Each structure stands twice: as structure tokens, then as C-alpha cells.
Chains A and B, each alone.
Chain A
């Protein structure tokens, strides 16, 4: 189903120029794992031909890769040198029941982050440089390979999360973090959501450098509810922080210490929203919200008996909704709390992804879209 697989940025640029001259519209796919197969476009471009790590300097903690490079290739190269992408990108395949390989370009374009986002920042915070082809078929670079760079307007941030609406990324450059010597997870059992949110919120305010904080509610399975705090660092430091936190929250009971593959599996489950893989959840909503407002949303959700999963110490809440749910009403609830909901999986046709209730902001966004892509050829319908 792919119409064109460019092998280089100039080749892609030329193709785009042609497309815009002939009034074609282009959909971009990376690995196709997010299930966002472009619809209503005349041509589909795959980045799979733009593959390979362009440079990797472990001592500078930076890596550059062409946009279609499989994420696993990048992660493997980094792991070999004891480094990682600190924002822990989510893998959509379990949730979306898709196959294929997630690509590094899509990670950037969709600003995909996982549990460590709460402490280390999102993909957009680690993306320091891009090369892209805009709607005029020009090759545009922004940012670069150095960690600090404020030269000119930050088109990197603008493209991170733009989902390919401004152009096609051809190369991305990320800054990196060392993989820590040790990773420890504290797990409290049986807390209700309010207690869990309170615990996580308080823990994030301690000096004990929580790496990630999540809560898996009681799904009526054997394990019951689990509240997780992850610590990373040198071993003595992790041990010390573990003790401090266990003491601080002893009124919630002694936490279990989880390490190794068992811990990794737990965090993968959180990162990839695995509790929602079942097709029974017709709609899966991903909600970003202020931690202090999360309890109100959770209360609302529990009134409907809705399955939830809480990450980012309460800043990210997954909701699994029944087929005949009134999504608009949920969106309203969430918006009233200053949050935002994204329909990640749904039997419904999702509306435009970037709809902003503020006319002025919507105007700015479509202005920017036009500034990159005057003919509106990329991923139409997102804005």
C-alpha cells in the first residue's frame, strides 16, 4: 500500500515538489504501528528507505538517525554503550494490535513518551535536531547535534508532535542518558486510587529522585491494586532512597521490592497500556491532566465503573470505555479540568487530532501548517 519509498532527503524533496505541483496529497507512514494509516490521501510515502544511524557519539550523549530507522536498532546501539533514550517511548503494538517496527522518526513526530517522562521529560525535550522536507519540497534543518541551541526559531519543538502535518522528517537527533547501574521498584499493594495519587504526588515532592510513578488499579485479578515507584541510579543510592521512601510511606504498609525482568515487565505494561489490549474496550482514551486534578477525573470514572491506568504520578490517565459511551461528554469533563483527551483507539472515526477550542490558537496552528505546507499536501485532516 506504499506508493513511494524515498532513499534520500533530496529524492523525497523532489517527489514532494512534484506532488504539490500536481495537487496530490501525501500520507506518511513510518512503521505503521500506531494504526494511523493515513486516510483520504492520494499517495502514501514510507520512510522505511531512510534508515540507519547517521552518527553516534557516546561521550557527547547524542545520536542521529534517519527517520525510518527502526527504534529497536537505535535502542540496541545505545544499549551496547550503556545509554538510552530517557523518555522511554511507548510501544503501540500491543494496544493497537499492529505489527511492524516502530521507527525513530515516528517517535519524534508523535512525541511519544513513556513512564520516565515524569522525571526526565518527553520525547520533545530530548529531540535536539531535525531534518525535514516541507510542503515546498525544501530540505529544512533545525536544531542540531549540540544539546544547547537557541539559534533562531525552534522548529524542532514545532515538529515534535506535529504528526507529520508540517512535513516529512528525514533525520532526527536525540540527546541521551546513561542507563543507570540499578533500577528498583517499590510496590505498595491494595491502595485505592485516591491514596495512590496522594502517595505518588507526595513522593514526587521528596528529594529521593523518583524515576517513574504509576498506579495499576484493582482489575479484579489476583494481584490487586499496585502503586509503583521506580528508582534508578548507583546501587547504594537506590538502596538508600528505597529505605527512605519505605519509611516515609510506612502508613501504607511495607512496599514490596521488585527488580529485574519482573520490574521491566510491569513497567512495559504501564508504558504500553497493556490493560486495554482487549477489544472489549471499544475506546481507549489517553488523558493528560494536572496531578492535582486527577482525583476528580478518577472519581468521575469510578462512577461509571470505567477501567483506568495511572502513570506520570497522576498526570497521565488511561481510560477504557464501552462501545456506546458518549465520548464528547468525557472530553467535556476532561477539558473542564484543564486536561486533554486523545482517542488512541476507537471504533469511532476520531475528529481532527489538533482541534483547539480557542479560535485564535486554532488560527495560529493552521497558519503554521500553511507556512510549512501551503498546498496542504501532508496528512490532511489532522488540523
Chain B
């Protein structure tokens, strides 16, 4: 196992484990602190299970003040801290390390305030993404960023990863839908960034926190933009013979000035996997499929769809299937959103997350198959086609260390390819440990240093999620 290294645990901290645990126990109610190794084990990894590290202790605080007290204590004691939401990171972002404590925010899950005219909802950050939408649904609102993991993942995790989802083509990703955040800094102080007004002046610290992967502080509350639900929405399935046809169709739709709420791509293996689970009526006799969703009143939907259908016809579409009921719509999205999990039925997978310029789609799809086949593995593709965010799932057998190594190498090759064609390593899952050592492919030494200098403003000692994002060598530290 473990081709990716973690920082060497600090022996001095390990030696003081008992004293540290006792200090924490004095700080918080007993059911906030988990120290028994049997129990800590459940927190040793996230959804990137190829890697795991036992934490020293796990804390599940119930208030911002508790988080602050723990952070202050850890700072004083020199203990590392790894923040955790629901532990659904696919990049290993929430994997702890032996000399760290985990601070989980899952109990901070209350809705605090709905400001309807302002279209904002204030929540505690451990609330799940879907629970946010559920909270405002009776008022006809929803929270737009919808990662496939939205049932389980937390707003805290979404903020840390700047998560996206199928519907972000129209509504933007997390960073475009967060107005404010309460953050506990490394020294235990509490700051409120942004607020309930738009575009606060000064340096955009909130914009920096979003996507910072738990390295700058612990997010405990957030003010989110919520939007009115559309009158209706209808997904349509478009089946094509080849991925190239589907890719060209996407470019043509955007070129025609149409921005659907979602455009999702699946190749044949992915269609088969998802259909087997969700029974959504995906066409099985095509080489690639797009799920395109449009919104509005029935007439508006019909009108827009007609335009899309015309374009699709010009690109050799083979099958067109509209959802005819709310249940069918739910099934269609269930299939898409379960794509990764459903893949688990047939194999282990590594999920890549590179983004490429959409004009490069046909070339990259072809190269990816070649790369993966070159390692003797298979790949299934599901991705957000409108914005070029790829999710090739490299299928392998986790119980075969050699296959894991091959899968990792194939993944690295694919991400390198994404960067080479003008894209990036990760579009929404974050760097975590998974892509950490590939960072120099995308950034120069100066650029990495610049990012680390900014990081150091918040955490000069590298105490917060220290093994992530930046390669372990050449780390910049203030003199």
C-alpha cells in the first residue's frame, strides 16, 4: 500500500498522547471525545480508502465555542488538527494522521435563520447539503450546488472542497453560493467572513477559505445563497453511437447560446452500471449518453428542448427519451448521482476529477482509454460535460496491490494529460493527498511558494491538515 507518504508523525507528540488526551477530556463533555483505538478506527479514512491513518483522538463538538476551545488547546500543545465533515472526500482530504486529532463537525447541523427577501440561509456547517435544500423547500427554494454525494456530505466539506455538481453549469459551484462563514482559526479565535450582504470590501478571505481544504481554519457556520425552485425541470436522455458525437453535440449546444441547467455525460460502461442500479430507463444500446436538463414552465421547457433536439439531430443522436413524470426524473438523477457507488458493485475504483477545455473532449476521451488499457485496466466515464469536468473511474481490484499501483499510475497519467491540454488536476474533489504530489505538474515552484506563503498567514506551523495539498518536500515556512 501507500505510495503516497504522510508526514512523519511527531514522536514528541505521540509520547505525550496521554497528557494531551487528558487535557482534551478536561475541556469538553465526555461524549465529545473519542479516544479508544477501536473507535477511532472508524475515522481513519474517508471515501479514498486506499489510504488510512489512525488519529490520536476524535472530537465531535456541539458548538463553535467548543471548536474554538479545542483549537486553542491544540495550538498551545502543538497538536495537528484534521477537520472532518461527513468523510466523503474522494481525495483523502479528511484522512487524519497519527499525531493529529480529528475535529468532526457533524453535530453542528442546525438551521439558524432563513432570510427570505435576501435569499440567504444561515446554517451550522455540519448540516448536510441536501438538508439545506430540504429546509427551504417548503418555501419554494433550494441550494444550488449539488454534489452527487449531497445526501451525506456537509456544507463544511463543500466549502472546504469548493464542491460542484451536475447543476453547477447554470448556478455555479460552492464559492458562487456562499456569502459568509464563521471560521475558527488555528489559535482558537473566531472570525466572521463575508456576511449577509454581497461582495464585502477588502481582500476576499471568504473566497480564499472556500476550497482551502481545511488548512486555514475550521468552518462552523455559513450563510448560503438559496434560490427559488424552477416551475418545473425535465431531464432528457440523448443516446449517441460514439463519445465523439456526444462531445460535439455539447459544444454545439453551448455554441448556440443555450445553457441548460445540467449536461451530464456517461459512456457505455457507466450507463450499464448505473442502469443496473437505478433502473432509470437509460438506453443500453448506445455508445454514450447525455442527460440534459432544462427548467421553466412546461412551454418554456418544450421550447428549449426543441432547440436542443434539433442540434442533437444534427449530431447523429440515436435515442431521445424524455422524463414523463417526477418519479422518472428522480430515477434518472438517482442513476447519475449513484454512479460511483453503483460502480462499487462491480469493482473497486479510483475516481479522477481533472477538468479540460471542452474542445479537447474527443481527444482526451480517446487518450484516456488508451492510457488505462495500457495498464491492463478498464475505465468507466461519467462527467459534467458542460464544463469539461471529467470523472473517469479506473476500475481495479483493491486486494491486488499491483493493480492498485497500476490504477494510481494510470490516474496520474490521466491528470497529467488534463494539465497538458490546458486543464487542471481537480475540478471539484480537491487535491487532498491524492493529487498532492502532482501539484508541481500544474504550478511552478514560485506559484506553490506563493500559495504556501498565504497558507502560512493562517497556519505558520503547518498544524491544520498538514499532509495535504502541498508536496511534503520544499514546504515554505516563515523564517
Do A's and B's CB atoms come within 8 Å in the complex? yes
| Residue positions of A touching B, CB distance < 8 A | 57-62, 82-83, 111, 113, 117-118, 121-122, 124-125, 134, 136, 138-142, 144-158, 160-162, 165-166, 177-181, 197-198, 201-202, 204-207, 209, 233-234, 236-237, 240, 288-293, 312-316, 338-340, 342, 353-356, 358, 360-361, 364-365, 367-372
Cα A361 to Cα B202 with chains together (Å): 10
CB distance from B407 to the nearest CB of A (A): 21
Given the contacts A160-B204, A240-B299, A154 and B198 also touching, CB distance less than 8 Å: no
Whether B228 lies near A204 (C-beta < 8 A) is yes
Considering only CB atoms, which chain B residue lies closest to A312 in the complex? B198
Whether B450 lies near A178 (C-beta < 8 A) is no
Cα A6 to Cα B309 with chains together (Å): 50
Cα A197 to Cα B446 with chains together (Å): 49
Considering only CB atoms, which chain B residue lies closest to A178 in the complex? B257
Considering only CB atoms, which chain B residue lies closest to A154 in the complex? B211
Whether B453 lies near A148 (C-beta < 8 A) is no
Whether B199 lies near A59 (C-beta < 8 A) is no
Given the contacts A240-B300, A290-B197, A365-B202, A150 and B359 also touching, CB distance less than 8 Å: no
Whether A290 lies near B120 (C-beta < 8 A) is yes
The 26 listed contacts between A and B (C-beta, < 8 Å) are A122-B198, A125-B176, A142-B451, A144-B422, A145-B422, A146-B356, A149-B424, A149-B427, A150-B426, A150-B429, A151-B426, A161-B199, A178-B257, A179-B257, A205-B228, A234-B303, A237-B300, A240-B300, A338-B197, A339-B197, A340-B197, A356-B202, A361-B202, A364-B457, A365-B203, A371-B454
What A residues does B205 contact at CB under 8 A?
361, 364-365, 368
Whether B255 lies near A58 (C-beta < 8 A) is yes
Whether B251 lies near A157 (C-beta < 8 A) is no
Given the contacts A157-B208, A207-B228, A237-B303, A292 and B454 also touching, CB distance less than 8 Å: no
What A residues does B427 contact at CB under 8 A?
146, 148-150
Cα A312 to Cα B197 with chains together (Å): 11
Considering only CB atoms, which chain B residue lies closest to A158 in the complex? B208
Whether B162 lies near A154 (C-beta < 8 A) is yes
Whether A292 lies near B211 (C-beta < 8 A) is no
Considering only CB atoms, which chain A residue lies closest to B356 in the complex? A146
A contact patch SS: mixed
Cα A372 to Cα B449 with chains together (Å): 10
Q: B329: CB under 8 A from chain A? A: no
List of 9 A-B pairs having minimum Cβ-Cβ separation, nearest first: A157-B207, A201-B117, A178-B257, A367-B457, A148-B427, A354-B202, A371-B453, A290-B196, A146-B355
Whether B447 lies near A140 (C-beta < 8 A) is yes
Whether B257 lies near A151 (C-beta < 8 A) is no
What B residues does A370 contact at CB under 8 A?
457
Q: B313: CB under 8 A from chain A? A: no
What B residues does A314 contact at CB under 8 A?
117
Whether A152 lies near B451 (C-beta < 8 A) is yes
What B residues does A148 contact at CB under 8 A?
164, 168, 173, 355, 384, 387-389, 427-428
Given the contacts A146-B357, A157-B204, A364 and B424 also touching, CB distance less than 8 Å: no
Central interface residue in B139, B210, B447, B448, by most chain A CB within 10 Å: B447
Considering the complex, which residues of chain B in the window 155-173 have a beta carbon less than 8 Å from any beta carbon of chain A? 161-162, 164, 168, 172-173
Considering only CB atoms, which chain A residue lies closest to B203 in the complex? A365
Considering only CB atoms, which chain B residue lies closest to A118 in the complex? B198
Given the contacts A234-B303, A360-B189, A124 and B204 also touching, CB distance less than 8 Å: yes
Whether A153 lies near B254 (C-beta < 8 A) is no
Whether A59 lies near B207 (C-beta < 8 A) is no
Whether B172 lies near A158 (C-beta < 8 A) is no
Given the contacts A125-B176, A153-B212, A288 and B198 also touching, CB distance less than 8 Å: yes
Whether B428 lies near A60 (C-beta < 8 A) is no
Whether B116 lies near A201 (C-beta < 8 A) is yes
A-B contact sample (9 more), CB < 8 A, given A148-B384, A198-B117, A207-B296: A125-B172, A146-B388, A149-B427, A150-B431, A152-B451, A205-B140, A290-B115, A290-B118, A315-B197
Cα A70 to Cα B268 with chains together (Å): 47
Q: B230: CB under 8 A from chain A? A: yes
Whether A154 lies near B203 (C-beta < 8 A) is no
Contact partner of A154 (CB less than 8 A), chosen from B207, B428, B453, is B207
CB distance from A159 to the nearest CB of B (A): 8
Whether A358 lies near B204 (C-beta < 8 A) is no
Q: B6: CB under 8 A from chain A? A: no
What B residues does A155 contact at CB under 8 A?
208, 450-451, 454
Q: B240: CB under 8 A from chain A? A: no
Cα A62 to Cα B297 with chains together (Å): 29
Cα A117 to Cα B164 with chains together (Å): 20
What A residues does B384 contact at CB under 8 A?
148
What A residues does B208 contact at CB under 8 A?
153-155, 157-158, 368
Whether A158 lies near B204 (C-beta < 8 A) is yes
A-contact bits for B89-129, CB 8 A (1 contact / 0 none): 00000000000000000000000000111111000000000
CB distance from B258 to the nearest CB of A (A): 7
Whether A205 lies near B116 (C-beta < 8 A) is yes
Given the contacts A161-B203, A364-B458, A371 and B450 also touching, CB distance less than 8 Å: yes
Whether B303 lies near A236 (C-beta < 8 A) is yes
Central interface residue in A157, A201, A360, A369, by most chain B CB within 10 Å: A157
Considering only CB atoms, which chain A residue lies closest to B202 in the complex? A354
Cα A121 to Cα B387 with chains together (Å): 17
Whether A151 lies near B202 (C-beta < 8 A) is no
Considering only CB atoms, which chain B residue lies closest to A289 in the complex? B197
Whether A371 lies near B164 (C-beta < 8 A) is no
Given the contacts A158-B454, A364-B205, A151 and B197 also touching, CB distance less than 8 Å: no
Whether A205 lies near B117 (C-beta < 8 A) is yes
Considering only CB atoms, which chain B residue lies closest to A143 in the complex? B424
Contact partner of A206 (CB less than 8 A), chosen from B172, B197, B228, B457, is B228
Q: B442: CB under 8 A from chain A? A: yes
Given the contacts A152-B443, A207-B228, A371-B457, A144 and B423 also touching, CB distance less than 8 Å: yes
Cα A139 to Cα B62 with chains together (Å): 44
Cα A134 to Cα B140 with chains together (Å): 46
Cα A175 to Cα B258 with chains together (Å): 15
CB distance from B80 to the nearest CB of A (A): 19
Considering only CB atoms, which chain A residue lies closest to B458 in the complex? A364
CB distance from B473 to the nearest CB of A (A): 16
